[in-house]
Amino acid sequence: MNDSSRTGVLGRLPGAWALLVAACAGAAGVAGSFAVAAFTPSFVAGPIAGLLAREMPAVVVRYAITVLGDLGSKLNIVAALAISTAVFAAAALVGLGVARRTDLPPVGPPVGGALAAGAAYAVTAVPLPSAVAGLAVGGVLAAAAFASLPDLETVSEERRRVLGGAASALAFVGGGYLLGGRGGFTEPSGAGEPLEVNSVLQAEIDQRLSQAEGQSLDVEGLEALVSEDFYEVDINATDPTLDAAEWELTVTGAVEEEVSYTYADVREMDAENRFVSLRCVGERLNGRKMDNALWTGVPIMDLVEPAGPAEECCVMLRAADDFYEEFPLSALEDGFLAFGMNGETLPAGHGYPARALIPGHWGEINVKWITEIEILEEEADGYWEERGWHGTGPVNTVAKLHLEESLDDGLIRVGGHAYAGTRGVGSVEVSIDGGDTWTEADLSEPLPGDDVWRQWVHTYDPPDGEHEVVVRAIETDGTVQPSDETDAFPSGPSGWVSRTVEP
Ligand SMILES: Nc1nc2c(c(=O)[nH]1)N[C@H]1C(S)=C(S)[C@@H](COP(=O)(O)O)O[C@H]1N2
Ligand SMILES: [Mo]
């Protein structure tokens, strides 16, 4: 590299080319962070996405949840990726600028890289992925410099720099995507692995899972009684990565004496298996945020009672992701602390190493990654209640319609799932004339437990032309689910699901 080309490398870079090189460096920095951290809170975009979701005005978040749904959380992640890229690109631009001003091209890559690493560390507080992000930013700047060597003469100098930057960024992004997609260099966490329990409990898990399989209606396209793909709702884009060996759950607040439990303590207690269904208050009426699993864990009061809780009011559950929800102590009394899901340790996304399950209540108080049970003497607002929601009470009853198919003989089959919390689903009724007349649907046999959904199907001979299919659940005590339709905000969706069917 001779002296004049070195000065040319970073010294006289025109604005547009510099921006392109910086953008490449920014993308490479994000890829570098992802390569090491994968999609965890150590990935630079993770905390930024969380910050965006937390600090965004409640009305924007509500719009994202109720109108955009899953698209909302995708946009949140895209925005966080864009911000991370921009921050790294800014670091790269400073590097390029310093190189130009000082007329010392070799300082560009280290300056840009160090700034990027510093920014990543400021966001994540994790050294290794931040350092790799910085190396990637510096690497692209260096590649841009290298590509401007005079032996690549057929292309103009600036274009060579951008090509060099882009080629190296592509390598970083590709490599980062592959490595990060495989979990990066994060330690295996123990989440979602076979649950080691005693043989009695294991036999019951096997028996209940096969019972659920056997009782699931044999209808293709209808999700089984144990969900294959259990929905996830989180305040953050990334799941906290907790180490069970270091995890502790503490009972605090209005108690005679604070008590803490390690994971080993919990695993030594008498455990049970329970089917519990969950439904999110923010979902659409006929949405997909309702599922069922077989959970293994301990009654939550077995952990709370030794602390001597005051008996008056309520409880705040707090979690490692800074989520917190408050509800009456009476609801906690039926609560469960789960460490297993369908025969495995909890998957990271469902609260590893442990979560609360509060039967019959909206999903949000089923706190994942739980770390603290605080007994309160006065009511307080939880995370979502501070944002205007009323999602701490019992779920609304619903019968969803997700399956609609024409059978060979001209008949039509509709089906779905019905859930009524601890009130239980007694029957499901279907109308094919917009609600004038009703017929009872076929139901799956009830699974053991008092908070479990049921499947329903109904096959009928359709009238000519378009008709309105309506479905409603009847609770075990005969109460017909209310027909009035309400939005998810603030107290959860309610109403009869209907669909126009054309034979
Ligand atoms: N720690 C923590 N717990 C949480 C949440 C969260 O964001 N953080 N989301 C809640 C909400 S809104 C719902 S609907 C349920 C969903 O549980 P799942 O993700 O296992 O389906 O978890 C609840 N528990
Ligand atoms: Mo939720």
Q: How many CA atoms lie within 13 A of 430 on its CB side?
A: 26
Residue 64 alpha carbon to ligand 2 centre in Å: 13
| Confidence at residue 64, expressed as pLDDT on a 0 to 100 scale | 87
Whether residue 2 has pLDDT greater than 50: no
- The tens digit of pLDDT for each residue in 92-129 reads 999 999 988 898 889 999 999 999 999 999 999 999 99
- Please identify every residue whose CB atom is under 5 Å from ligand 2, which is an ion: 233, 280, 363-364
Place 196 in a pLDDT band, splitting at 50, 70 and 90: very high
Ligand nearest to the CA of 341: 1
Residue 291 alpha carbon to ligand 1 centre in Å: 12
Ligand 1 pocket, residue 366 CB under 6 Å: yes
Residue bearing the CA closest to ligand 1, atom 7 = 234
Q: Which amino acid is at 384?
A: W
Give the CA distances from residue 412 to residues 30, 218, 399, 415, in Å, rounded to whole numbers and listed in that order. 50, 16, 18, 10
Residue bearing the CA closest to ligand 1, atom 5 = 234
Ligand 1 pocket, residue 244 CB under 6 Å: no
Place 253 in a pLDDT band, splitting at 50, 70 and 90: very high
Closest CA to 24 of 161, 141, 169: 169
Peptide bond into 394 cis (omega under 30): no
Residue 441 tokens read as: 């649907």
Residue bearing the CA closest to ligand 1, atom 24 = 367
- The tens digit of pLDDT for each residue in 135-188 reads 999 999 999 987 766 565 667 778 888 989 999 999 999 999 999 988 888 776
Residue-wise burial string across 19-38, b where 16 or more C-beta atoms lie within 10 A, e elsewhere: bbbbbbbbbbbbbbbbbbbb
Whether residue 364 has pLDDT greater than 50: yes
Sorted by sequence, the CB contacts under 8 Å of residue 228 that are 6+ apart come out as: none
* Three-class secondary structure of residue 413 per DSSP: strand
The domains found in the chain, sorted by start residue, are: 3-178 (no CATH), 199-387 (3.90.420.10), 398-501 (2.60.40.650)
| Confidence at residue 275, expressed as pLDDT on a 0 to 100 scale | 98
Ligand 1 pocket, residue 350 CB under 6 Å: yes
Q: What is the pTM (predicted TM-score) of this model?
A: 0.91
- Distance spanning both ends of the chain, measured CA to CA: 74
